[in-house]
Amino acid sequence: MAVLIISAIIVIVDQISKLLVRGFSIPFLGIEHDGFYYGESIHVIGDFLQFTFVENPGIAFGIDIGIEAKLFLTIFTFLLSSAIFVFLYKNKRNVLTYRIGISLVLGGAIGNLIDRMFYGVLFDYAPLFYGKVVDFINFEFPDFTLFGSSFTRFPIFNIADSAVTIGVIIILLFAPENNFRLKKKKNGSNSLDENNSELNRNEVNGSDLPSQEEKSL
């Protein structure tokens, strides 16, 4: 399915960017990339946009949920990603833009899920399912207050977080149109079924009537 390609691209780009930031080594190929040291920053657009290497043990945008909920979060994300994949594969009648939004959410969820599931083992600091998510996109905004909470900086995030956020916005924007079109298709299908049923009844009733020759006899 075409929209699943979008999810795959998100996962690939997300993982490549994280490995470039964190560093990696492939000994049997003689490949080693040091990446950033923890907390290191490079300026991309002055102080406004920086790449800063941090790790997040919780959920998106640096929100910490505690070690107790870590396993639950990883398993829940895996189940949710599986459900989204099945939904995308089976529901091809949804509006394309709506499905693109869902595919972005799927790609972002899988991107961060890989970190949580495997990074702890891959980088030898935690057991399976207890890895930390690599974040590095760092925007410097003026201090602001939102819903009564004061923020002195925007949380550091990654490409997967961005994909999920954009995907959710697209879903919310196009959900009404998607529901309207699905309802319209369903009503059209029901009307067609009713017309076919009426036509079949007429054909049956017509076949039961005596022909003109039978009447004359």
Tens-level pLDDT at each residue, the chain (217 residues)? 789 999 999 999 999 999 999 999 999 999 999 999 999 999 999 989 999 999 998 776 656 677 778 888 899 999 999 999 999 988 888 899 999 999 999 999 999 999 999 999 999 999 999 999 999 999 987 777 777 777 777 789 999 999 999 999 999 999 998 888 888 877 765 555 555 555 666 665 655 555 555 555 4
The span from the CA of 110 to the CA of 7, in Å, is 8
Give the Cβ contact number of residue 62 at 10 Å. 17
Within 68-209, residue ranges assigned H as helices are 70-90, 96-114, 120-122, 159-208
- Tokens 């790449």 sit on residue: 51
Instruction: Report if pTM > 0.85.
Output: no
Q: List the catalytic residues.
A: 135, 161
Residue 161 — φ and ψ, nearest 5°?
-60, -45
For residue 157, give both structure tokens.
């995030």
